[in-house]
Structure 1
């Protein structure tokens, strides 16, 4: 069975032989990301300040991260009438997509939009102005959201055409949660966002792909809406914020979880044993015997104050619980066992289809 088929079975609850893994720290990844380019040349590796194709001004901060948007071209909604939207058909956007696709081998290919609807909205307008705009300028906010969605859909259609069946999911990032609740009420979500997500997810599915979303924070109520819209995979990196037991009770078996030991707490400050316990508990609580679980990594350990060794311990626990074949040998090849720790030598054979 190919890696693509294993991921596909996990998403569709069709009895994968093991839990799919996304762990670059040990060179194991059943998925393969492809991206388009910003036609202006903006990249995540910018120095100091940089402007992306949307006119958003990015700035590096005093801590390790991807930067912060400090300049918002639509902070004043009066600027909307003269705003120049990015060109979804710009040839530079797709220049190396075919080359990226050629490197996928047997993996599950994810087309990554990057920022979704909500994140691009508040990057354009500013967070405060976005929140006020839902009440003070709803027509303009609706217009901006529609234009963002139209851009994303046109980019998606072009990528799907180039891929010609070689992309299997379309992934986006919209961080909907704070520490204790979502940024907006469910009623506002239904008014401004639910119809747009419905259209987006419907189009992704019509192309034979799976809608996939990263969303941080306590998204417990919003997740119900997203599932109803057709979201099939949610990437959740803060399981202790949403509550492992609550999410299990409400959503287990209804959506596939791509998840990780909590990046705000356990993966940063927990003992090795606490990391193991949480990884195993996540598999028990959020997966089903039929699937619905993908174990994931956090690639920039330094940004969250964690270490590569903690990520390897997490991989070991997920792999052991999720029946990943030969995981001990993988660990032995990538790192020497730390003092006081001996990786299990058990090797589980990959089931044949």
Structure 2
């Protein structure tokens, strides 16, 4: 099987030759482990086209905190080598600014036409995805998290206008990716705290669910796959996400008890695993990492498909655990 065929078979529960996997590496992991991590990953190309790794340039900042301003005008602080961090100053301090606020430009057709040409190469035998963007998180980045939760408590009309403009902006990217010929489109919004949804399920269903459905509709109409990543305790919205078309769900499943995962998730939708990056992967023993991968395959991969293996490598993950995780992918990654 090619990688593309393998991923499609896993998503559709059609018995691929092995469990597909996807790399996920933070820059800080390369800075810690250097060229040996580059060589290790390049010797194991994943099923989504991640190959030809190199060590990314390290920001020249004093201390561990990096500050930057993104294309939306949001000012970020983040710990060097990790993820995006937090917005400390947002561009929409007042709803009075919304009318004149300019969204970043969307790539023109020539960009997606160039992508289409590259995807048509015979060497491009992996599963091809494009980015559908975020909604909830981008709203936080434009207003700050604290302000957005206050906005959601009141739901003023400008909040609806902002959400709809973001959906329209995301849709322009989605249509571009579909014209380019990708196999699926990925979305990401972290909806959970450690033990509950960040807003009430009722409000999620009334405010956000219809807007996700609007973004998903052209993807389903084109016969392509929808990937959705969401961190935290998000079990309250799994049924809704599956209902509106999500094909591959990437929840933070180590937070939930096995019985709940068996009842609500396993066998119902393809799961892209989120191996335990809070405890086991960075702080466990190699044997605990191996056992965690084995249990994940046994839970989600017993339905003639339904699993994509994926575990994040941050700068806090020791070398022996990286090796153990990938060796376990190879040893246990059979349906």
> Normalized against structure 1, the TM-score is what?
0.79
User: C-alpha offsets along residues 36-65 of structure 1, whole Å, 9 cap, x if unaligned?
Assistant: xxxxxxxx9797443322222223436733
Task: Structure 2: give runs of 5+ residues left out of the alignment.
Answer: 25-40, 51-57
Deviation at 1:122, TM superposition (A): 0.7
**SS of the residue 1:217 aligns to:** coil
Aligned CA-pair RMSD: 2.7
Tell me if structure 2 keeps the 8 A contact 1:10–1:19: yes
In structure 1, C-alpha distance between the alignment counterparts of 2:216 and 2:196, rounded to whole Å: 24
* Distance of aligned partners of 1:199 and 1:186 in 2 relative to their CA distance in 1, 3 Å threshold: same
**Residue aligning to 2:331:** 320
- Are the counterparts in 1 of residues 109 and 176 from structure 2 also a CA contact under 8 Å? no
CA distance in 2 between counterparts of 1:95 and 1:183 reads 39
Shift of 1:91: 6.6
Distance 1:287 1:2 in 2: 19
Q: Does 1:253 align with 2:272?
A: no
The question of whether the paired residues in 1 share the 8 Å contact of 2:254 and 2:274 is answered with no
Q: Which residue of 2 aligns with 1:271?
A: 285
Hey, what does 2:48 align to over in structure 1? 31
**Shift in Å, 1:188:** 0.7
Q: Report the Cα offset of residue 147 of structure 1.
A: 0.6
| Aligned residue number for residue 128 of structure 2 | 109
1:148 corresponds to which residue? 166
Aligned length: 308
Q: Is the 8 A contact 1:61 1:68 kept in 2?
A: no
Q: For residues 1-353 of structure 1, what are the structure 2 equivalents within 5 Å?
A: 1-23=1-23, 25=41, 27-32=44-49, 48-61=66-79, 64-90=82-108, 97-98=115-116, 101=119, 105-113=124-132, 115-161=133-179, 163=180, 165=181, 167-236=182-251, 238-299=252-313, 301-302=314-315, 305-323=316-334
Q: Is the 8 A contact 1:31 1:107 kept in 2?
A: yes
Corresponding residue for 1:334? none
Q: Distance in 2 between matches of 1:276 and 1:22?
A: 17
Q: CA deviation at 1:28?
A: 2.9
Distance 1:96 1:68 in 2: 33
Contact 1:219–1:242 (CA under 8 A) maintained in structure 2: no
Cα distance in 2 for partners of 1:250, 1:273 equals: 28
Q: Normalising to structure 2: TM-score of the pair? A: 0.83
Query: Structure 2: how far apart are the matches of 1:62 and 1:55?
Result: 20
Offset from partner CA, 1:286-312 (integer Å, 9 cap, x none): 22332100011314x20xx11233122
Please state whether the residue corresponding to 1:10 is helix, strand or coil.
Answer: helix
What is the alpha-carbon distance in structure 1 between the residues aligned to residue 287 and residue 263 of structure 2?
Answer: 25
User: Which protein, 1 or 2, shows the higher relative CO under an 8 Å CA cutoff with sep ≥ 6?
Assistant: 2
Listed as ranges, the gaps of 5+ residues in structure 1 are: 34-43, 325-353
